[in-house]
Structure 1
Amino acid sequence: MPITNYDQYMPEAIGKGRIAQYPEHRADTLGANGVIGWGRAVQHTATNKNRGEVYNGTSKVVGIAIANHYGEYRVTNLHNEITGQYENNDAASVLRKGVIWVQVLEDVVKGDLAVADNATGDFRPSTTATAGKSAVIGEFKSSATANGLAQLEVNLPNQ
């Protein structure tokens, strides 16, 4: 019997911070220095390279916060779009190589280069007029409209 519904094997955009493709990915673990939303860009804290915080433009992007299953107990309804966060002092998994679902703040097209926004840690195309942004950190592997979810491929560190 041929497969006609791929959602049962690899569902589309089930939430920010979810791994989008399984082939080869690498992650680091950092102690969360404050709340880090899943799917947000992460940087080291100024005083400790073992701790991470949401990217704010004061350092380079070292990865993207991966959603963890253990954190889903904090979500009120698992049937809605799953969003979540690491709490202060959680062991945060940070993707540095692979493809992950992220929220975009502007329309993006597959193939656009990606930058992180200094104010939110979410993502924009590198052609954005917004001044507060990181250097290029990856490439979008899917298109999305503003505030939607897109696949972002990263291979960090690249700065």
Structure 2
Amino acid sequence: MPIPIGQEYMNAPAALGKIANYQSVEANTTACGAEEITFGKAVYAEDDVSQVMTTGKDFFGVVLARNYVKEITVGDKVGVYVKGDAVPVIRKGTIWVQVDEDVLSNQKAVVNTATGNFLPANTALETKTEVVGTFMSTAMADGLAMLQISLP
């Protein structure tokens, strides 16, 4: 039996790279390649090494955020994985991601290969992949949206 009022039991944090709900989540772990990977970015993986999505690569998943991030005393606190870190990549489930354009709930999602963020499938930009999932919330450009993916 499902929980009738889920927010009374848990409130999923609306933060970049965090799981948006706890229904059937699957993730794989790879190593971070030469370039840093920010939480919530789309990645490709080759030989168990992940890098931010680029043109001509196959979408592997979305990078999960760590619960612990080393304290930064100056500037913005941005979670990243650096070369050699173990990188958890969600392959099935719903995760908070950053969008580069306005998106609507139930709209198909694609990856912007120039940034590693996400776009609606009907975008005019040419730096995009094939459809990778569906947005489960509405968001304005540069905001956070829930993205649902289900990869084999």
- Normalising by the residue count of structure 1, what TM-score does the alignment of the two structures yield? 0.84
CA–CA distance in structure 2, aligned partners of residues 74 and 119 of structure 1: 29
The percentage of aligned residue pairs carrying the same residue is 37
Gaps of 5+ in 2: none
- Pairwise CA distance, 1:9: 2.6
Once the two structures are TM-superposed, the CA of residue 44 in structure 1 deviates from its matched residue by: 1.5
- Which amino acid is the alignment partner of residue 73 of structure 1? K
Corresponding residue number in structure 2 for 1:26: 26
2:16 aligns to what?
16
Q: CA deviation at 1:58?
A: 2.5
SS at match of 1:23: coil
Q: How does 1:9-158 map to 2 (within 5 A)?
A: 9-13=10-14, 15-33=15-33, 34-45=35-46, 49-70=47-68, 72-76=69-73, 83-157=78-152
Preserved CA contact (<8 Å) 2:12 2:19: no
Structure 1 outlier segments of 4+, above 2 Å: 6-9, 74-77
Residue segments in structure 1 that go unaligned for 5+ positions in a row: none
Superposition RMSD in Å: 2.2
Retained in 2: the 8 A contact 1:109–1:144?
A: yes
> How many residue pairs align between the two structures?
145
Distance 1:141 1:32 in 2: 28
Provide the rounded CA distance (Å) in 2 between the counterparts of 1:85 and 1:124: 21
Secondary structure of 1:107's partner? coil
Distance 1:7 1:43 in 2: 37
TM-score by structure 2 length? 0.87
Does the CA-based 8 Å contact 1:16-1:83 persist in structure 2? no
Distance 2:9 2:117 in 1: 28
